[in-house]
Amino acid sequence: MERGLSWKEKLAERIPPELGREIDIFEQQMELRKQGKIDEKVFAETRLRRGIYGQRYDNGQRHDGKRVQKLKLSADIIKGPDTLWDAPGMMRIKIPFGGVTPEQLEILADLSEEYSDGVAHVTTRQDFQLHYVHINDTPALMRRLAAVRVTTREACGNSVRNVTACPLAGICREQVFDVTPYAKASSRFLMGHPDTQDFGRKVKIAFSGCEQNPCGLVTMHDMGAIAKTRVVDGKEQRGFAFYVGGGLGSVPYKAKLFDEFLPEEELLPTMQAISRVFARLGEKRNRARARIKFLIANLGIDEFRKLVSEERQKLSSDPRWTDFLASVNQRSEAPLKPGISLNGHQRAEGFEAWYATNVYKQRQPGYVAATVTLPLGDASADQLRALADIARRFVKDTIRTTVEQNILFRWVSEADLPEFYQAIKAIGLGAADAATIVDVTACPGTDTCKLGIASSRGLARELRYRLGEKSLELDAAVKNLRIKVSGCFNSCGQHHIADIGFYGINRNVKGFQVPHFQVILGGKFHDNAGEYGVPIGAVPSKRVPEAVSSISEFYVRKREKDERFQDFVGRVGKKAVKDLLEDLTKIPAHEVDPSYYTDWGDPREFTLADMGIGECAGEVVSQAEFTLAASERELFEAQLLLDAGRPQEAVKAAYLSMVRAAQGLVKDQNPSISEDENQIIEEFTKRFYDTQLFWDKYAGGKFAEYLFKAKEFINEGKAADADRAVQLLQEAQLFIDAAHDCHNKARGSVQNAVTIGAGAQPGA
Amino acid sequence: MKMDLQKINVKFFAVEKEPVPLTAFIDIFHSWIQASDGIYHDVADYSHMTNGPGIVLVAQDANVHIDETGGRRGLLYTQKARLPGSNQERLRVVLCAALENCRKLEQEPALRGKLKFSGDEVLISINDRLLAPNTTESFQALKPDVEAVAGQLFNGASFALSYKEDSRRRFSIAVRTFERFDVDGLIANIGSEARHS
């Protein structure tokens, strides 16, 4: 057999040496891991920092709806704790500020075909992801990306993740200035920087050209910069309103204003100084408390600012801080064609509807930005290649991915739009409704994510289908709403900032596990993720489309003139919305209609088995479920108190709801547990926390710690403002969800034991 | 130029008496998983895409797609794991595996006979641009092996190979015969030998 060239040899001339070296080193690390010469945890973080992520079932087990199957995979080598080497994984590909070229799209197409399942997925942070990738293929994959100047470095792991930016930057009618060069410079500067290599968790950075629009989502990021100018001595100076400590995750934090005007030359050194402070003082052991948001919450923003300022003074000057500033005013993009208005051109069927939702008039006359809507963020290899061709035909290389999982073509001459529309329609991407209620955003959820509880993509697909069918009939107020879905509380689908958000949870209904989604209402996508929504209640997964209809119809019926959805929810109150959804919380018995006990697009009887269970044990006591239900009611009352402007009482009520949930669990083991809160917490700690029965596989003891922290807060008699109250209520909701899970697992293990016992003794 | 043929994909095109919704294959593939023992990893649902990979039954060694790429539905079998033997033996193994999956679907009670696969045409692709760039040289190198296997597949009936050079697309050869074959017939022609090779 003749030996052909490897990708390494074939692309040697095209791969930048520094990228090539990094990939060579990673390939060596793979070899060392195979030989057992690198610790599995060290290798796991190593591969994560190369963008190679785990994927569902990579522990070698999968529940098929009836039983757990052991997958036929070699267990000889692992690529991390409980992660088999041969199991398919996910590859995240960094696309700084979403900027991508036709050549890069073509390579993504090739890679998706050869190493994945033919689909490239745009994420909610402007990355691309490929799924079902074998780790052995990753060096070749990385080299092929490197040859077109794309890296996967620090796409995952405890590092600075993809730096995102408004996709309209540079063409936006309302921008202060183009933030693209700053996003690009910070991405380059921080990637691989020695000061960003020792974090306890990830750091996400975003840039926005204005305050009022949502595109940059600055306030939900660890660091965020909003373009500002000021006049000093008659000269305009550029800078940023700079924010720190935002983040979604299980409990969302809004970023705090770090500096109302950070001059442009101070941007990179400030980021570097923040990185140093975070690396030095950020939590390292407890991953659940390791983001910058927790460090700032602990220190207070003033102390944090002081520490950063001190650190900044210690930094040695680096020319990279300001070198890029010389060219920030130069236009980095050039249009392919002259800008000509649309008038008089023949338009295909569907064009007007598409134009109404998918086209944005640029600040530059005659040019528009056109959104290509990718359903669920997915594009096939053929579609990517066709999009590359379309780009070359209409715009050359001015393409960006968006946080709404779409692709934006900038600098389209308006006169070309009819032909542009025909071209994208021909490849099945001519759907209208970008940035509307139809354009549902979703994280991967149970499709591929190890942490997924419910099928976010399945639900999003169903909602897209149903809402798309009646798109033209939708009231304009409803059409402008955003829906975002996460498969679990971790918020990769960004449910907190949607008008209508959902995150997946599990509920027990008469002994069966049933996929549910927690309904989150009133989040604000605008104003750079200006408000976070609040939980209303859990709805069975299969009834969520009805819930969306009920909520949107209620809004149309009861809204006051031009009332925004957030204001509407605030005015009518959560109780009214909860009452509206009350009927939808019920489902038929399993024997009447088992479809409610499965998830969207997945006929398997619903189970959490694929997340890994078995930590919790105990007896099934119906009183426990009753008590858990009581805790939810109490939490809801806490929300009503908060709505009524009584945060102090709300905090107390939320804390007591957590105590009630803890009591429910304790009742499993000690039915005579008293009503005394101290005794309940003591027993809960002894029986569930110390034993790690109340332990989440990935979050550890985080949820129990919410209870302990709340107790501390109450006992110290601290005053609670609205922000603290909102946070504590969110934590209470997560604690109660975790209590349900713990109880369900305990119940499941008892039921499984009975089943196994019966099977083992058929004659008994 | 001698080519070490791996990552062979084959697609047999569907002939539907009435359109079967893509989502119907989700339940079917899950039932296949339940009837297997750890071979399959999962079912990927791309029913929301136009002319996409459709529904994918994912496994370690090979995936089975109800694929709609190119606007034509068919069963696409994508061999991922390396195969032993000669190029012709590998082609036979993959063709046979694809046909067995076609037959299994045709016999699927849930489809009630609505789905058949055409035995007159097969698309063979090599899912590795390094190994098999889409060039005339690749075609010339593989042509003898493909002709030999196609001769056996169509039991001596005449057939034609077509190939389009396109540096961006994977190397593919379409094989068409002018006689009628069904899946059972093709398996009878090629199956027993492939299974034993």
Distance, CA of B119 to CA of B157 (rounded, Å): 12
Q: Distance from A515 to chain B by nearest Cα, in Å? A: 18
C-alpha atoms less than 13 angstroms from C-alpha of A425 in its C-beta half-sphere = 16
Q: B135 touching A, CB under 8 A?
A: no
Smallest CA-to-CA distance from A372 within A382, A381, A384 is with A384
Distance, CA of A315 to CA of A697 (rounded, Å): 40
Kindly determine whether residue A428 and residue B47, on different chains, have CB atoms separated by under 8 Å: no
Could you check whether A171-327 and A613-764 share the same CATH topology?
no
Q: Express each pLDDT in B46-99 by its tens digit.
A: 999 999 999 999 999 999 999 999 999 999 999 999 999 999 999 999 999 999
Interval A268-275 mean pLDDT: 98
Q: Express each pLDDT in A418-444 by its tens digit.
A: 999 999 999 999 999 999 999 999 999
Q: Which of A73, A382, A429, A605 is best to mutate for the B interface (most B CBs within 10 A)? A: A382
**Helix (H/G/I), strand (E/B), else coil: A319:** coil
Residue keyed to tokens 């550029």:
A238
Kindly determine whether residue B30 and residue A56, on different chains, have CB atoms separated by under 8 Å: no
Distance, CA of B4 to CA of A332 (rounded, Å): 45
Q: What is the pLDDT of residue A762?
A: 27
Strand partners, A598: A605
Q: B114 touching A, CB under 8 A?
A: no
Domain definitions of chain A by residue range = 7-146, 171-327, 351-426, 436-606, 613-764
B130 → closest Cβ in A7, A73, A604: A7
* CATH code of domain A436-606: 3.30.413.10
β pairing state of B62-67 and B40-45: unpaired
Q: B23 touching A, CB under 8 A?
A: yes
Q: Distance from B105 to chain A by nearest Cα, in Å? A: 18
Q: What percent of chain A has pLDDT over 70?
A: 96
Contact list in B for residue A426 (CB cut-off 8 A) is none
Which CATH fold topology does A351-426 show? Alpha-Beta Plaits (3.30.70)
Which CATH fold topology does A613-764 show? Four Helix Bundle (Hemerythrin (Met), subunit A) (1.20.120)
Q: Which of B2, B7, B33, B50 is best to mutate for the A interface (most A CBs within 10 A)? A: B50
A66 → closest Cβ in B34, B37, B56: B34
Please state the length of chain B: 197
Interval A524-541 mean pLDDT: 89
**pTM, rounded to two decimals:** 0.88
Residue keyed to tokens 């088995």:
A609
B128 → closest Cβ in A114, A447, A602: A114
Give the residue on B whose Cα is nearest the Cα of A118.
B53
Q: B27 touching A, CB under 8 A?
A: yes
Distance, CA of A296 to CA of A281 (rounded, Å): 10
pLDDT band at A333 (very low <50, low <70, confident <90, very high): confident
Smallest CA-to-CA distance from A640 within A557, A729, A514, A565 is with A729
E strand intervals along A396-511: 399-401, 407-413, 441-442, 483-486, 500-509
Distance, CA of A239 to CA of A223 (rounded, Å): 15
A601 → closest Cβ in B41, B45, B170: B45
A679 contacts: CB under 8 Å, gap ≥ 6: A673
Q: Express each pLDDT in A84-138 by its tens digit.
A: 999 999 999 999 999 999 999 999 999 999 999 999 999 999 999 999 999 999 9
Give the residue on B whose Cα is nearest the Cα of A67.
B34
Give the residue on A whose Cα is nearest the Cα of B71.
A427
How many angstroms separate the first and last alpha carbons of chain B? 25
Q: Distance from A228 to chain B by nearest Cα, in Å? A: 41
Give the residue on A whose Cα is nearest the Cα of B47.
A461
Prediction ipTM score: 0.96
Q: What is the pLDDT of residue A748?
A: 64
Distance, CA of A739 to CA of A746 (rounded, Å): 11
Q: What is the pLDDT along chain B (197 residues), one digit of tens a residue?
A: 678 899 999 999 999 888 899 999 999 999 999 999 999 999 999 999 999 999 999 999 999 999 999 999 999 999 999 999 999 999 999 999 999 999 999 999 999 889 999 999 999 999 999 999 999 999 999 999 999 999 999 999 999 999 998 989 999 999 999 999 999 999 999 975 555 44
What is the amino acid identity at position A593? Answer: D
Strand partners, B26: none
Kindly determine whether residue A457 and residue B45, on different chains, have CB atoms separated by under 8 Å: yes
What CATH class does A171-327 carry? alpha beta
B41 → closest Cβ in A57, A110, A140: A57
Find the DSSP H helices in A35-132: 40-48, 102-115
Kindly determine whether residue A458 and residue B45, on different chains, have CB atoms separated by under 8 Å: yes
Task: Give, in degrees to the nearest 5, the angle at Cα A538 between A536 and A541.
Answer: 135
Contact list in A for residue B169 (CB cut-off 8 A) is 385
Strand partners, A100: A399
Give the residue on A whose Cα is nearest the Cα of B87.
A1
Q: Express each pLDDT in A484-500 by its tens digit.
A: 999 999 889 999 999 99
**DSSP run (H or E) holding A419:** helix A417-426
Distance, CA of A238 to CA of A243 (rounded, Å): 16
What is the amino acid identity at position A110? Answer: D
Interval A668-687 mean pLDDT: 88
What CATH class does A7-146 carry? alpha beta
Smallest CA-to-CA distance from A141 within A185, A175, A102, A108 is with A108
Q: Distance from A732 to chain B by nearest Cα, in Å? A: 35
pLDDT band at A752 (very low <50, low <70, confident <90, very high): very low
pLDDT band at A329 (very low <50, low <70, confident <90, very high): confident
Q: Under the phi-then-psi rule, with left for phi > 0, alpha for psi from -120 to 50, and beta for the rest, what region is A245?
A: left
Eight-state DSSP code of residue A687: I
Secondary structure tally for chain B: helices H, strands E: 4, 8
Smallest CA-to-CA distance from B174 within B165, B182, B163 is with B163
Q: What is the pLDDT of residue A404?
A: 95
Q: Is the pLDDT of residue A204 over 90?
A: yes
What is the maximum span of chain A, computed from C-alpha positions, in angstroms?
Answer: 94
Distance, CA of B8 to CA of B6 (rounded, Å): 5
